[in-house]
Amino acid sequence: MLTGCAGTVDLSLQTPPTLVEQTAVVQWRSNSFQLVLVPQVQDIFYLNKERRKHFLDFYHASDNLSVDRHKRLFNYLERVLDGFSYKGDTYNADLASTLQSGNCLSLAILTKAYAFLANLEVHYSKVNSAPIYQPQQCVMTISSHVQTYIYAPVNIIKSKGEFSLFRSKIIIDYFPTSNRVLGTMVDNADFVAMYYQNLAAEAIIDKRFDLAYSLLSAAMELSPNNIDTLNSLAVLYKKTGHSLAAETIYLHGLEHTKGSVNLLSNYIILLQEMGRLQDAVLLQEQYQYIEDNSPFTWFDLANKAYGDKNYSAALRYYEKSIQVAPYLHESFFGQAKTYFHLGKRHKAQIAMKRATELAFKPSDEKLYLAKLNSLTENISEQ
């Protein structure tokens, strides 16, 4: 489920998934929950009168009129976010502004609220980074986050009877790190759905199941085939004893979306807990059909397979991670370890050499070099 910035619940059919059918919608509603009031979309981006005036006074100040409009918004954010507390809470724009606190999704929401006042266009992109796992009340949450793109108005450049369209943008990454991978663009509906997913994750942890259902209902109304909302809804049903309803949603997610590793893993765990062990084993084969663009998800799956001594599966998943992000040294190191256990010393040496070349930290490079030298010596002696 989404928590922190944005994420998925990791709770640890027999046919390949079909082509994506975005128009297919699962029958997800349940009479087992009571709908309660949740924030409306306009509430999420609301700013009180004082905050609106503070921003607009800065934005239209005479000293700023010569600055590009999208840069003015960026400059304002730099000022007001000084001293901001980057906590894991998900707030609407008004609370994030008033409390000077919130996670990166809260900051993206606040940015969107200011951009609306300035009549500027914003887009979002998901950013995949090394996941932070937080086990709470038997629910494992995984954090990731988003970047915000602020676009300048279209500029028409004329020259020699011709004209071209030029548009600049500013990319805001609220938690920049070296170890991150740009994911897919996120449309408006899915972005707003993230807000509801985050709050629903907190509600599930607190066992406020009616609230969680109501929040996920709002997300489903916005984007009924959002894979993270489907995954969260299935987790809610499973935790409240509606295993068959959860399975229906998992199957829909696999058959009518691109799927996700987390959703498939959750479904496998559900089958295991239902005693359908053969079905769970068969479902493992569907990982090869998943189009998950997070290398860290594949890396985590590979590590689990490696820990279970399923080395052939581990190699497949390390390779998936490398295909998505061929510059992450951790995946090559995992690949090298796996080849070593399979007795393929030369391939292990090649993978270890690549891990050494890509290592960022001197400590990692030193470790890889030592292991590479050991492998080289063993191959020379044979």
Predicted confidence at residue 182, as pLDDT, reads 64
- The proportion of the chain whose per-residue pLDDT surpasses 90, expressed as a percent, equals 54
* pLDDT tens figures, 277-318: 999 999 998 998 888 888 888 888 999 999 999 999 999 999
Sign of CA dihedral 254, 260, 261, 267: negative
* pLDDT tens figures, 237-256: 999 999 999 999 999 999 98
Low-confidence ranges of the chain (pLDDT < 70): 1-23, 128-144, 155-166, 175-183, 360-382
The residues that bridge with 2 in the sheet, in sequence order, are 142
CA atoms within 13 Å, Cβ hemisphere of 158:
1
Predicted confidence at residue 164, as pLDDT, reads 52
pTM over 0.85: no
Per the CB < 8 A criterion, the answer to whether 126 and 184 are in contact is: yes
Predicted confidence at residue 16, as pLDDT, reads 39
The CATH 1.25.40.10 portion of the chain extends over 41-276, 294-381
CA distance 123 to 112: 9
Please, what's the largest Cα pairwise distance for the chain?
Answer: 77
**What are the backbone dihedrals phi and psi of residue 306, each rounded to the nearest 5 degrees, phi first?**
-65, -45
* pLDDT tens figures, 321-349: 898 888 888 899 999 999 998 999 899 98
Predicted confidence at residue 146, as pLDDT, reads 85
Predicted confidence at residue 316, as pLDDT, reads 93
- Tell me how far the alpha carbon of residue 160 is from its chain's centroid: 46
CATH 1.25.40.10 fits 41-276, yes or no: yes
Options 1.10.10.60, 1.25.40.10, 1.10.3720.10, 3.40.50.1820; CATH of 294-381: 1.25.40.10
